[in-house]
């Protein structure tokens, strides 16, 4: 989700990076990984030796003198790379819950084997990042910025190592985000011809066909993507997130909010007006920091929504892990939801 939305219910304050003198020393030791001018967009990253180059979705040619080994990534990006067999040294973004268990955005990533630089939005320990001697920083982008890289410390962070971002919003649909993440993994040494990767991609494609079949077999089911916060209910448009955009392409009929925020992602509704849009199914944001069904029972207007009364509220993986393995499951679950939904809105 765009920062303006996430910060409204997960911001716990920025943990400032201290130790300026020590940071300068580490910066000097980590120099030499500056972005090169590029090679016309060709990806030489799969080479066994020599320079590594990748053109990211911000249009930047990102280069290092050799294939990166000390990779630091946004948690969801790290989880996707893990599914392709690419390890990272550090992560930033939701990684563990309050009880120390893996966050939903960590996927299959072993959170005990990575350095956590920040666990919430706007939190990034720059000094600890520098100590990892990073070769490369990887994340997603929704709106042309580096997702979960704090604006306040962005300049310090981006001086330490080249950074690359994969688009997951705007005009990007889910298959494209998956393709680009696979391209990135391949450049870092992943074998896209490995049986588990090939099988996962085939499963994803089959799951997409199942969703399309379900929408044809049960037409007219209205779906609303929503997210609950303490004072607001966010109704999302399906047109600016890679997952919802693809669901719509597969035939899912969304309720589209009328008055979107400035960035064009959602409409923020007071709980008094949470019933503005009627839907048969609600896809509810499953991220840590958002209100889940048990907590939402305390909101009277939530309980009156037709989809809630019908028991047709299902989790939405609002920030998918962009590997075919994880996204195949999302589509399979969605197909079952559409297939079994009753029209109540």
Mean pLDDT of 61-87: 97
User: What pLDDT is recorded for position 48?
Assistant: 54
Contact 250, 240 (CB under 8 A): no
User: What pLDDT is recorded for position 263?
Assistant: 86
261-308 pLDDT per residue, tens: 988 999 999 999 999 999 999 999 999 999 999 999 999 999 999 999
Query: What does the angle CA 255 – CA 261 – CA 262 come to, to the nearest 5 degrees?
Result: 135
Mean pLDDT of 32-37: 36
Q: Which of 31-45, 71-85, 187-201, 204-218 has the lowest mean pLDDT?
A: 31-45
- Token pair for 307: 């989809």
Contact 165, 55 (CB under 8 A): no
User: What pLDDT is recorded for position 275?
Assistant: 95
CA–CA distances in Å: residue 192 to residues 46, 85, 198, 303: 11, 10, 7, 46
- In this predicted model, which residue has the larger pLDDT, 252 or 6? 252
Mean pLDDT of 171-194: 98
User: What pLDDT is recorded for position 50?
Assistant: 85
- Predicted TM-score (pTM) of the model is 0.86
User: What pLDDT is recorded for position 2?
Assistant: 58
Contacts 24+ apart (CB under 8 A), 106-109: 106/75, 106/78, 106/79, 107/76, 107/79, 107/80, 107/82, 107/83, 107/321, 107/323, 107/326, 108/79, 108/82, 108/83, 109/75, 109/78, 109/79, 109/82
The percent of residues above 90 in pLDDT, for the chain, comes to 84
Mean pLDDT of 163-170: 97
Query: What does the mean pLDDT of the chain come to?
Result: 88
């Amino acid at each position: 989700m765009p920062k303006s939305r996430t910060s409204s219910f997960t911001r716990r304050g920025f943990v400032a990076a201290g130790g300026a003198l020590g940071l300068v020393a580490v910066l000097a030791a980590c120099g030499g990984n500056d972005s090169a001018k590029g090679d016309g967009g060709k990806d030489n990253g799969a080479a066994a030796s020599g320079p590594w180059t990748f053109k990211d979705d911000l249009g930047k040619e990102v280069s290092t003198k050799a294939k990166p080994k000390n990779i630091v990534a946004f948690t969801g990006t790290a989880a996707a790379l893990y599914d392709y067999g690419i390890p990272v040294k550090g992560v930033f973004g939701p990684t563990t819950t309050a009880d120390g268990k893996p966050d939903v955005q960590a996927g299959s990533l072993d959170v005990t084997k990575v350095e956590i630089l920040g666990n919430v939005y706007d939190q990034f320990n720059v000094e600890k990042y520098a100590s990892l001697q990073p070769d490369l920083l990887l994340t997603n982008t929704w709106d042309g910025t580096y997702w979960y890289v704090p604006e306040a410390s962005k300049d310090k962070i981006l001086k330490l190592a080249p950074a690359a971002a994969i688009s997951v919003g705007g005009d990007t649909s889910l298959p494209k985000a998956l393709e680009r993440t696979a391209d990135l993994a391949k450049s870092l040494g992943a074998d896209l011809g490995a049986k588990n990767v090939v099988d996962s991609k085939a499963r994803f494609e089959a799951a997409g066909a199942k969703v399309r079949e379900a929408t044809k077999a049960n037409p007219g089911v209205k779906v609303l993507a929503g997210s609950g916060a303490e004072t607001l209910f966010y109704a999302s448009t399906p047109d600016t997130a890679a997952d919802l955009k693809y669901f719509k392409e597969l035939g899912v009929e969304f309720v589209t909010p009328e008055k979107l925020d400035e960035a064009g992602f959602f409409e923020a509704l007071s709980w008094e007006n949470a019933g503005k849009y009627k839907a048969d199914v609600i896809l509810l944001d499953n991220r840590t920091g958002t209100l889940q069904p048990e907590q939402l029972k305390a909101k009277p207007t939530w309980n009156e929504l037709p989809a809630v009364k019908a028991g047709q509220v299902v989790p939405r993986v609002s920030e998918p892990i962009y590997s075919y393995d994880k996204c195949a499951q999302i589509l399979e679950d969605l197909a079952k939801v559409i297939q079994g939904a009753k029209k109540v809105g």
